Amino acid sequence: MTDIALVKELLALLDNSSATTIEIRKGFTTYRVSREAHQAAPSMPMPHFVPAPPGTPAAPAAAPAAPAAPRLIEVKSPMVGTFYRAPEPGAEPYAKAGSRISAGQTLCIIEAMKIMNELEAEVSGTIREVLVEDAQPVEFGQVLFRVEP
C-alpha cells in the first residue's frame, strides 16, 4: 500500500468514526490524521458600569501583580526511539518530578536501533515535569522533561 493510499484510508476511517485522531506506525514512520474541533467563542455579556452610591469610598488600589512564574527549560528528544526512565526494569528512575539535577547528569535512556543512548542534562535545576511514560516511543524534538533552572 502506498503512503497516499494509506493516508486516504486513514482519512476515511476518521470520517466514519467519532475519533478525533488516528495514528499508526509503519516501521519508523508514523502516520497521524486528525480533525480539529472548531468551536465558536462563547458569547460574553458586555460589562456595564454602575455608579457607586454617593458617599461610597473609592475602590481600593489593585493588588500588586504576582511574581512571574519561573521559566521552565524544555528537554527534548534528540532522536526517534524508545524512552526509558531507568537503567533497567525495576530500578529507580534517573530523574523524576521534584528531583534536583546537575548538568551532565543522565536523565533517561533513548533506545534507537538496539543502541542505548543516555540523555544528559544540559542545565542544573529541578525537574518540574516528566512528560513521557516509561517504554513509550518518542519522536525527534518531543519534549521529555521540563526543568526549572
Give, in order, the Cα–Cα distances in Å from 98 to each of 67, 90, 101, 126, 132: 21, 20, 9, 6, 15
Instruction: Show the cell assigned to 63.
Output: 493588588
Which residue did the predictor score with more confidence, 17 or 67? 17
* Strand ranges, E, within 4-70: 21-26, 29-34
Q: Is the alpha carbon torsion for 6, 11, 12, 13 positive or negative?
A: positive
120-142 pLDDT, tens digit per residue, is 999 999 999 999 999 999 999 99
- Residue 35 to residue 26: CA distance in whole angstroms: 21
Residue 82 clears pLDDT 70, i.e. is over it: yes
Where residue 38 falls among pLDDT bands split at 50, 70, 90?
Answer: very low
pTM of the full predicted structure?
0.53
> Domain coordinates of the chain in residue numbers?
3-34, 73-148
Section 112-121 average pLDDT? 93
Using the predicted structure, report yes or no on whether residue 117 has a pLDDT greater than 90.
yes
Least confident interval from 17-21, 35-39, 117-121: 35-39
Q: What's the mean pLDDT in 83-95?
A: 93
Candidate CATH numbers 3.30.43.10, 3.10.20.600, 2.40.50.100, 3.40.50.1100; the one for domain 73-148? 2.40.50.100
